[in-house]
Amino acid sequence: MIKVGIVGGTGYTGVELLRLLAQHPAVELSAITSRGDAGTHVAAMFPSLRGRVDLKFEDPAAANLKACDLVFFATPNGVAMQQAPELLDAGVRVVDLAADYRIVDVAEWEKWYGMKHASPEWVAKAVYGLPEVNRNAIRGARLVANPGCYPTAVQLGFAPLVEAGLVEISGLIADAKSGVSGAGRKAEVSSLFSEASDNFKAYGVPGHRHLPEIRQGLSRMSKNGPVGLTFVPHLTPLIRGIHATLYARVTGEADFQALYEQRYADEPFVDVLPEKTHPETRSVRASNLCRISVHRPQGGDTLVILSVIDNLVKGAAGQAVQNMNIMFDLPETEGLWQLPVLP
């Protein structure tokens, strides 16, 4: 059994980790931390876990995380970079669900996240945890930087085109929408029901923190140099789900439907839909799936790719468990075959 700890178990990604790991046949949940809720039974805060998780939240300073085989950090940005190095030095493997180790250029990270990086020496050692692209490197990683939710949907949507060099990489456009849970489990006016319900808005248009992460990932895939990307996120009155509408101008001809089907033929968590179909966020709700469809409106020179995920599962906790499975040589799908919830 893999002894697992979770730092920051009270947020939305933390409880998703608990939901998935409580059903995982190869995992023993050893410690769950929360500085503000130490001593509280997990099931008292999350009744959905009653009878499945018989643990109390512990103060991070008191939890024996060094006895774990792997620790997930489901914490705000800036926490893992301070606490993870001590665990890594003790031989514990780490998956960080925040952004502390995603961007290789430390100065770029500090510009976008507005703080000094506490462990820049570990940035170069971290492996970016997008399994469909980095599977071999993840297998031997000690520290995995779990991708963000928007970056997962956008990169999986663009990857086959960018890898094949068939589109104009200087003018990629990602128009993406997220449910309110993407903002986290915190008291914030914009997340109040009366503010977010019956409303739709763009945000972060001048620049969003996920932009450099997406550009970095796509540029690594590109045969033709760094990509140029316009990324506009939107907030929708959904609890969970991301829908990314992606635009790319064609520079080379191919059977694009076949290109996507072949690229993802062996990927258990990427489903390329038949032609002329439209994926819906509800078709992936509570699952680790990314569903993609490929369109070429009116046979023109612009491709439209639709990519949907559950932001809390494939966009966070589910992908983190997928990475854990790879790191410990388990079947990649172990504990992750939950079907989407409908309605």
Q: How far is 134 from 179, CA to CA, in rounded Å?
A: 27
Residue 195 confidence class, pLDDT cut points 50, 70, 90: confident
Q: Measured between alpha carbons, how far is 128 from 141 in angstroms, rounded to an integer?
A: 9
What pLDDT digit, counting tens, does each position of 242-277 carry?
999 999 999 999 999 999 999 999 999 999 999 999
Residues pairing with 178 in the sheet = 235, 242
Q: What is the model's pLDDT at position 301?
A: 96
- Domain residue ranges of the chain, discontinuous segments joined by +: 2-125, 150-311
Residue 158 tokens, joined: 């663009």
Q: How far apart are CA 157 and CA 272, in angstroms?
A: 10
Fold of 150-311: Dihydrodipicolinate Reductase; domain 2 (3.30.360)
Q: What is the value of pTM for the model shown? A: 0.96
Q: Which residues contact 289 (CB under 8 A, 6 or more apart)?
A: 269, 270, 271, 283, 309, 310, 314, 340
Q: What is the pLDDT of residues 122-165, one digit of tens each?
A: 999 999 999 999 999 999 999 999 999 999 999 999 999 999 99
Q: Per DSSP, which regions of the chain are E strands?
A: 2-7, 27-33, 70-73, 93-96, 127-128, 143-145, 172-178, 201-202, 229-235, 242-249, 270-272, 290-295, 302-309
**What dotted CATH number matches 2-125?**
3.40.50.720
Tell me the average pLDDT of the chain: 95
Residue 203 near residue 260 (C-beta atoms within 8 A): no
Task: Give the span between the Cα atoms of 177 and 234, in whole angstroms.
Answer: 4
- Cβ burial, residue 334 (10 Å; 0-12/13-18/19+): middle
Residues involved in catalysis: 149
Q: Which pLDDT does position 241 carry in this prediction?
A: 97
